[in-house]
Amino acid sequence: MKKIHFKGPFRGFSAGNETVFRLQDAWSGGIYLWTIAYMEGFLTYYVGETGRSFAQRMTEHARDYLSGLYRIYDPVSFAKGVKILLWEGMWKRGTSERMSEFLERFPEPGPQILQLLETMRIFIATLDAEKRIRQRIEAGIAHHLQMMPGLVGQF
């Protein structure tokens, strides 16, 4: 049985010393959680794993948000645990031709995306394990959270 320990919360996408990019562990791989501060705890939005460094993976995520690949939610509502979809993304098959629509619908998408990313608080757990083990841990955490009642499972 593998035990993992999450460190955080850290900011992932903002300037300052508390970002994931400034951690010694930023150059390790493992499991990570994207969360938002909610009430007296955190709501998990995304569970991920990486064999590359956390810094590399967070850079890829930021790039994919800024390019319209990922879903974009209203940042003010999202910070309150409410998902109001502004853009459905281009990650599904057959949607990559939507770049012109992305640019037309959001003449200034940067501020909304940056504000959305600013709401994220990231927890990391370094883990030196083969890909399949990381994926199974990632899936187990995600499944556990999805089975939780109420907003925890829905978010």
pLDDT computed for residue 12 by the predictor: 81
pLDDT computed for residue 118 by the predictor: 92
Secondary structure of residue 16 in the 3-state scheme:
coil
Strand pairing category for 30-38 and 41-50? antiparallel
CB 120 within 8 A of CB 13: yes
pLDDT computed for residue 52 by the predictor: 95
Per the confidence metrics, is the pTM higher than 0.85? yes
- Where do the domains of the chain lie? 7-150
Per-run averaged pLDDT (10 residues), the chain, 155 residues: 88 78 91 96 97 95 93 95 94 86 81 92 95 96 96 93
pLDDT computed for residue 19 by the predictor: 84
The residue type at 100 = S
